[in-house]
Amino acid sequence: MKTEKREVEERMTHFETVLRREGVKLTHQRMEIFREVARTGDHPDAEQVFQRVRKHLPTVSLDTVYRTLWLLNDLGLVTTLGSSRERTRFDANLSSHHHFVCEQCGFTRDFYSTELDKIQLPDSVDSLGEIEATHVEVRGVCRNCVENQKPKTQS
């Protein structure tokens, strides 16, 4: 559940380094919010972070939690689980397949691989619960978005 103390310290250090490098101010709020996410392994949502941070900083606002989390996300200090900020998407393809998802535009394409279908999960996973499906998610930037991003560079 909890992340090791040393690991948390390392993350905090990295956090401070990045904020300084980016010229972003180091406020308690930001520290406490990041620490809270860094110290737990249970992928909390904004509301949960808010509740926990409140214990140390009774006056934080939910708004700040949201703003900070997205800031941290933009700085590469945290990531979101699953497709962020997106609406729910549906899929009628019931056969075993995997996904390539573009982080910029959300473009998603199925791909197949008998190789991947044979994936062996570590034993530790079995102890977590009953496994129903396993699929590989590849995050990246689709061709379209790559093109549109470097319209000048031709070197």
Partner DNA sequence: CCAGACTTAAGAATGATTATAGTTGTGGAG
Partner DNA sequence: CTCCACAACTATAATCATTCTTAAGTCTGG
Shortest CB 106 distance to a second copy, Å: 9
Residue type for 115, please? E
Of 67 and 116, the one with the shorter C-beta distance to DNA is: 67
Distance of alpha carbon 4 from alpha carbon 113, whole angstroms = 37
114-147 burial code (b ≥16 CB/10 A, e <16): eeeeeeeeeeeeeeeeeeeeeeeeeeebbeeeee
Contact between 20 and a second copy by CB under 8 A: the answer reads no
Total of residues contacting a second copy (CB under 8 A): 73
Q: What does 12 interact with, of a second copy, DNA, none (CB < 5 to 8 A by kind)?
A: none
Scan residues 47-106 and list those touching a second copy (CB under 8 A).
47, 49, 69, 72-73, 76-94, 99-100, 102-103
Q: Which long-range contacts (CB under 8 A, 24 or more apart) does 21-26 make?
A: 22/75, 24/71, 24/75
Interface pick for DNA out of 15, 64, 72, 77 (rule CB under 7 A): 64
Which range binds DNA by CB under 7 A, 7-15, 21-29, 113-121, 122-130? 21-29
β-bridge partners, 101: 108, 139
> CB neighbours of 55 closer than 8 A, spacing ≥ 6?
none
Q: What does 28 interact with, of DNA, a second copy, none (CB < 5 to 8 A by kind)?
A: DNA
Token pair 């790559």 in the structure block, residue: 146
Of 47 and 137, the one with the shorter C-beta distance to DNA is: 47
Of 58 and 132, the one with the shorter C-beta distance to a second copy is: 132
CB atoms inside a 10 Å sphere around CB 36: 20
Q: Using CB under 7 A as the criterion, which residues of the chain lie in contact with DNA when the complex forms? A: 19-20, 24-30, 45-47, 57, 59-64, 66-68, 70, 85, 87-88
